[in-house]
Amino acid sequence: VATARDPLRTGRYLEARHGPAVYAPMAGIDVLHLFGPDALGLALRNDDAAFSNRLGWARYLDHVFPGAILAMDGREHRVQRRIMQAAFTRDSLRDYVERMNPNIGRGVDQWLAGQRRRDGLRVYPALKRLTLDVATSTFMGIASGRDADRINAAFVAAVTASMALVRVDAWPTSYWRGLRGRRYLVERIRELLPMRRGRQLPDLFSQMCSARSEEGERFSDDEVINHMIFVMMAAHDTSTSALTTMMYLLARYPDWQVRLREHSLALGKDTLDIDQLGALDEMTWVMQEALRLYPPLAIMPRMTVKPVAFAGYEIPPYTMVALSPIATHHTPSLWTNPDRFDPVRFSPDRAEHKRHRYAWAPFGGGAHVCIGQHFAGLEIRSTLHQLLRRYRWSIPPTYRMPFQFLPIAKPRDGLPLRIERL
């Protein structure tokens, strides 16, 4: 329970006391926690195919996200990933950015309407709404409006159900609501499929329909449906988490907020293209630092399917394993003052993240490395750029954001920020 509640503190304690491989219960099951960048490298590179994603992730994903690419192994994963990659080329990303920029602008323009006088705006739900709207329009090609609202509601219900402790498919459980939400999404996507199959539109849905691997393989209808639903989930909770953390850190360290805003204002325009977003160096360091301190996926599950040698131990097959990017991101031998917010550590001069290939792994690594990491970086930078040009935000000096780390990091209190228009 403690590991699930605070994986950083417990991880540090366990590693300091017992070394890099420790059995400890987590959320009701006995799990072998592996610490350090070598452990991340071993399991993520997975050279001997000794770690299974399928057996690690299935218990969390299979009910509501069947057919998720993250819960696939070996050849099946390779084939699906090769096809999906075709929907994430640089040209596709360029189009996604064009499409999402105005949506982000419209979304953040409405923010002040949500600010209550006493405790400010709860930023986490506002960002979640924004990233979900962006996903519905950029990914599914559905403009905001009632249709998008219904899809978003079905989607939120499905994600809630995937985390439900009580898995009874009967009214009025959140699980029942989530499965109903999933069925609605499946029906809607299936209905739209013939239209998307026939046309080369720039949304992710159309790209997934026409995506072909170099070998010519393509997705079946059911695969497009499952991938669309999973990608929507993988995309929006994680980006919301990262953006929330960045806004929090920029409120705690206002000199950085000023520094980034000066740059965004100096650029003189609200919307930037893929190349201009990529050139926002200081904002990129802040993003990398936020993802280091508070990786949205603090822990990743795997199961061994063969004996594995690690740090002088032999891990037996069918051991449930937890990989801990968050603990590695705070290791003093890799990072200077690891608890300090210090974005410049990512500058080319210091490049602390290059001290070990797996020192910084918020997007995972190896065959399952996040397929949306470049999209995420663009969405995050575009959103922050547009926010910085419109608003200034702050928190009381003593405020510390209370984190809930699992399954995806978020503030327990929604992060109330005081926001003023510039």
Residues forming contacts to ligand HEM in the complex (CB under 6 A) are 69-70, 81, 231, 234-235, 238-239, 242, 296-297, 300, 362-364, 368, 370-372, 375-376
Judged by beta carbon, residue 151 or residue 177, the one nearer ligand HEM is: 151
Give the type of residue at 104.
I
Taking the C-alpha atoms of residue 397 and residue 200, their distance in angstroms, rounded to an integer, is 51
Please, what is the minimum distance in Å from the beta carbon of residue 170 to ligand HEM? 31
DSSP string, 385-417: HHHHHHEEEE--TT--PPEE-SSS-EETT--EE
Please, what is the minimum distance in Å from the beta carbon of residue 407 to ligand HEM? 11
Judged by beta carbon, residue 364 or residue 416, the one nearer ligand HEM is: 364
| CA angle in degrees (0–180, nearest 5) for 60-165-185 | 60
Judged by beta carbon, residue 10 or residue 46, the one nearer ligand HEM is: 46
Please, what is the minimum distance in Å from the beta carbon of residue 320 to ligand HEM? 13
Judged by beta carbon, residue 365 or residue 414, the one nearer ligand HEM is: 365
Judged by beta carbon, residue 36 or residue 364, the one nearer ligand HEM is: 364
Six token digits for residue 22: 């420790």
Please, what is the minimum distance in Å from the beta carbon of residue 316 to ligand HEM? 21
Please, what is the minimum distance in Å from the beta carbon of residue 315 to ligand HEM? 18
Please, what is the minimum distance in Å from the beta carbon of residue 283 to ligand HEM? 14
Judged by beta carbon, residue 15 or residue 73, the one nearer ligand HEM is: 73
Please, what is the minimum distance in Å from the beta carbon of residue 361 to ligand HEM? 7
Taking the C-alpha atoms of residue 315 and residue 303, their distance in angstroms, rounded to an integer, is 10
Judged by beta carbon, residue 27 or residue 392, the one nearer ligand HEM is: 27
Please, what is the minimum distance in Å from the beta carbon of residue 268 to ligand HEM? 27
Helix (H) or strand (E) holding 373: helix 373-390
Who's near 224: CB < 8 A, 6+ residues apart?
Answer: 189, 193, 205, 208, 209
SS (H, E, C) 148-185: HHHHHHHHHHHHHHHCCCCCCCCCCCHHHHHHHHHHHH
Q: What are phi and psi of 110, to 5 degrees?
A: -85, 0
**H helices within 298-372, ranges in order?**
325-328
Closest CB to ligand HEM: residue number: 372
Q: How far is CA 161 from CA 59, 84, 100, 167, 235, in A?
A: 13, 26, 28, 8, 17
Torsional class of 145: left (φ above 0), alpha (ψ -120 to 50), beta (otherwise)? left
Who's near 208: CB < 8 A, 6+ residues apart?
Answer: 84, 87, 219, 224, 227, 228
Judged by beta carbon, residue 310 or residue 360, the one nearer ligand HEM is: 360
Taking the C-alpha atoms of residue 223 and residue 242, their distance in angstroms, rounded to an integer, is 28
